[in-house]
């Protein structure tokens, strides 16, 4: 018992040190399965020949990009078919070469034997990689993308019933690094929600991971969970089975650097066959300000902002909402008690808005955006994603897979005192030259933009943005029906 108490104290002490370090240098946002279960100036389809089963990872070359995806699944049946796609974008003027290392959880592949697929992404182009083609069906898989140029990557996990009916898809950006501490402020194991935690250890030593549930005020304090992750391995923790019927955040501590992603399913259906899903990386540390560039409570849309406070001092969070013309009214200051999960339900609004959460003590913050109604029942897609801790002048959005989305818009929040001029470079899904578009974002409001004038498919295109002023950008998809939608946060590059 004494060992557990000491570990917990050490965890909160490190979080407090991170919070104090923020005062000097704000901590950037992480850019970052079910256990039963090329051509220049365009998209690239490279003939890689046979897959390589690497015999060792010692003496690996140094890469400019190392991008991690803890979650992944290529299951086929008995009730749900999964399809996984990695979209890798190279905005550089030089060709990027590297590899994807796949680490499987449910085969006899040893700790020194990932599946390695060489890749090449020409300058100003994207690579669309079919994970199922690379590793085969019915694999729980983590992925490490490595290249000699700075890249960005997203993963799309699409699902259908075995009868062919489309279910919700998850759209997630890669983590750009490993860490020994990860935080998730959102999470739910009640009603229809099924929650898992995917842990990926690409290192040479096994990892022991301690998972602490951060409950709401008044909830029973639970003993931490412990998981073991083999070297070059992945593990999945069934959070609902361990902590049922709870609104909770997670504090994850590992004795080795790892990647961690939370997997949520919800709505109609059973297990990973439930209609809604979201897969998202954790947050490496607290920040005093978080921006959510797309928040919609229009019609039947629902939004929940969740906070956890990993310090020892109470935090007071002020919310500001930016609409298309002015600031919008928000709830009064929210107090977030140390070691407690706090959730804010936002009131109905007449239009989408951006919300900025500013705290006197650094906290962890995430948004749950659900489309067309309550996620507890029915068929409603949604996105659960971390806030953005810093605006940037460059943003990258690799393409996403799936055919559920018929429209997309870009939501740009410019909180500076002057206008921002933006340049969007749109990379086609097939061979062809990128299309360059120019936009303007006034100060102090949320601006909605469209790249439809590029006359390119929505989901299959990758887009990079350059701005004359620091901004926060979200990519938002909608489809036929009120319950079809997704929010993609993108990757800041400055």
Q: What is the pLDDT of residue 183?
A: 98
Strands in 8-137 per DSSP E: 43-44, 52-53, 65-69, 80-90, 96-104, 115-121, 125-130
Average pLDDT of the residues of the chain = 86
Q: What are 382's two structure tokens?
A: 């949604």
99-153, pLDDT tens digit by residue? 999 999 854 444 558 999 999 999 999 999 999 999 999 999 999 999 999 999 9
Does 323 have pLDDT greater than 60?
Answer: yes
Report the C-alpha gap between 55 and 77 in whole angstroms: 31
Q: What is the pLDDT of residue 22?
A: 41
Report the C-alpha gap between 358 and 378 in whole angstroms: 34
Q: What is the pLDDT of residue 452?
A: 87
Report residue 177's pLDDT band, with 50, 70 and 90 as the boundaries: very high
> In degrees to the nearest 10, what's the CA dihedral of 434, 439, 441, 442?
170
Residue 276, classed as helix, strand or coil, is strand
Q: What is the pLDDT of residue 112?
A: 55
Q: What is the pLDDT of residue 402?
A: 72
Establish how many alpha carbons lie within 13 A of residue 434's alpha carbon, considering only the half-sphere containing its beta carbon: 23
Q: Which of 74-88, 104-118, 195-209, 270-284 has the lowest mean pLDDT?
A: 104-118
Report residue 98's pLDDT band, with 50, 70 and 90 as the boundaries: very high
Report residue 210's pLDDT band, with 50, 70 and 90 as the boundaries: very high
Report the C-alpha gap between 197 and 393 in whole angstroms: 33
H/E/C letters for each residue in 95-111? CEEEEEEEEECCCCCCC
Report residue 439's pLDDT band, with 50, 70 and 90 as the boundaries: very high
Report the C-alpha gap between 30 and 18 in whole angstroms: 14
Q: What is the pLDDT of residue 289?
A: 98
Q: Which helix (H) or strand (E) holds 261?
A: strand 248-266
Report residue 312's pLDDT band, with 50, 70 and 90 as the boundaries: very high
Q: What is the mean pLDDT of residues 277-303?
A: 96
Q: What is the pLDDT of residue 11?
A: 47
Report residue 211's pLDDT band, with 50, 70 and 90 as the boundaries: very high
Q: How many CB atoms lie within 10 A of CB 225?
A: 17
Strands in 346-434 per DSSP E: 353-370, 382-386, 392-397, 407-414, 420-427
Q: What is the mean pLDDT of residues 12-21?
A: 45
Q: What is the mean pLDDT of residues 450-472?
A: 88
Q: What is the pLDDT of residue 111?
A: 56
Among 388, 299, 306, which Cα is nearest to 349's?
Answer: 299
Q: What is the pLDDT of residue 310?
A: 94
Does 78 have pLDDT greater than 80?
Answer: yes
Report the C-alpha gap between 13 and 142 in whole angstroms: 31
Q: What is the mean pLDDT of residues 479-486?
A: 88
Report residue 256's pLDDT band, with 50, 70 and 90 as the boundaries: very high
Does 258 have pLDDT greater than 90?
Answer: yes
Q: What are 485's two structure tokens?
A: 């939608």
Q: What is the pLDDT of residue 60?
A: 60
- Name which residue leads in pLDDT, 137 or 21: 137
371-384, pLDDT tens digit by residue? 999 999 999 999 99
Q: What is the pLDDT of residue 148?
A: 97
Q: What is the pLDDT of residue 131?
A: 98
Report the C-alpha gap between 461 and 485 in whole angstroms: 17
Q: What is the pLDDT of residue 45?
A: 36
Does 24 have pLDDT greater than 60?
Answer: no
**pTM (2 decimals)?**
0.88
The rounded Cα 147 to chain-centroid distance in angstroms is: 21
Does 389 have pLDDT greater than 90?
Answer: yes
Report residue 19's pLDDT band, with 50, 70 and 90 as the boundaries: very low
Q: What domains are there in the chain, each with its CATH number?
A: 43-173 (2.60.290.11), 179-281 (2.60.290.11)
Q: What is the pLDDT of residue 61?
A: 67
To which residue do tokens 């089963």 refer? 53
Report residue 157's pLDDT band, with 50, 70 and 90 as the boundaries: very high
């Amino acid at each position: 018992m004494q060992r557990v108490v000491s570990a917990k104290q050490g965890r909160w002490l490190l979080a407090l040190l991170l919070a104090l370090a923020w005062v000097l240098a704000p901590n950037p946002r992480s850019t970052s399965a079910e256990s039963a279960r090329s051509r220049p100036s365009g998209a690239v389809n490279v003939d890689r020949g046979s897959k390589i089963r690497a015999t060792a990872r010692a003496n690996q070359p140094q890469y400019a990009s190392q991008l991690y995806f803890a979650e992944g699944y290529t299951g086929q049946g008995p009730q749900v078919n999964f399809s996984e796609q990695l979209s890798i974008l190279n905005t550089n003027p030089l060709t990027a070469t590297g590899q994807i290392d796949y680490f499987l959880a449910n085969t006899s592949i040893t700790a020194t034997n990932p599946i390695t697929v060489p890749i090449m992404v020409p300058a100003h182009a994207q690579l669309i990689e079919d994970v199922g083609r690379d590793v085969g069906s019915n694999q729980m898989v983590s992925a490490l993308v490595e290249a000699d140029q700075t890249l960005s990557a997203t993963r799309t996990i699409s699902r259908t019933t075995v009868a062919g009916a489309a279910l919700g898809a998850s759209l997630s950006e890669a983590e750009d690094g490993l860490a020994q501490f990860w935080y998730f402020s959102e999470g739910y194991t009640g009603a229809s929600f099924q929650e898992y935690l995917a842990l990926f250890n690409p290192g040479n030593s096994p990892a022991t991971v301690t998972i602490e549930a951060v409950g709401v005020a008044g909830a029973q304090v639970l003993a931490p969970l412990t998981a073991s992750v083999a070297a070059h391995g992945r593990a999945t923790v069934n959070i609902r089975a361990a902590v049922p019927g709870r609104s909770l955040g997670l504090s994850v501590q590992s004795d080795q650097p790892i990647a961690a992603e939370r997997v949520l399913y919800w709505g109609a259906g059973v297990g990973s066959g439930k209609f809604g899903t979201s897969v998202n990386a954790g947050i490496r540390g607290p920040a005093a300000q978080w921006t959510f560039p797309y928040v919609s409570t229009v019609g039947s849309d629902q939004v929940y902002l969740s906070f956890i406070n990993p310090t020892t001092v109470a935090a007071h969070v002020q919310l500001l909402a930016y609409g298309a013309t002015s600031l919008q009214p928000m709830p009064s200051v929210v107090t977030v008690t140390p070691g407690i999960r706090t959730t804010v339900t936002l009131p109905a609004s007449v239009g989408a808005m951006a919300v900025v959460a500013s705290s006197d003590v650094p906290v962890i913050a995430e948004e749950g955006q659900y489309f067309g109604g309550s996620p507890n029942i029915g068929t409603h897609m949604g996105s659960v994603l971390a806030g953005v801790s810093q605006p940037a002048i460059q943003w990258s959005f690799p393409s996403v897979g799936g055919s559920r989305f018929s429209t997309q818009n870009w939501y740009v929040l410019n909180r500076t005192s002057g206008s921002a001029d933006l340049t969007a470079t749109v990379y086609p899904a097939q061979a062809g030259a990128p299309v360059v578009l120019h936009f303007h974002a006034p100060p102090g409001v949320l601006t909605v933009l469209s790249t439809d004038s590029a006359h390119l498919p929505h989901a299959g295109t990758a887009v990079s943005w350059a701005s004359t002023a620091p901004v926060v950008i979200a990519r938002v998809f909608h489809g036929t029906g009120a319950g079809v939608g997704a929010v993609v946060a993108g990757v800041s590059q400055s």
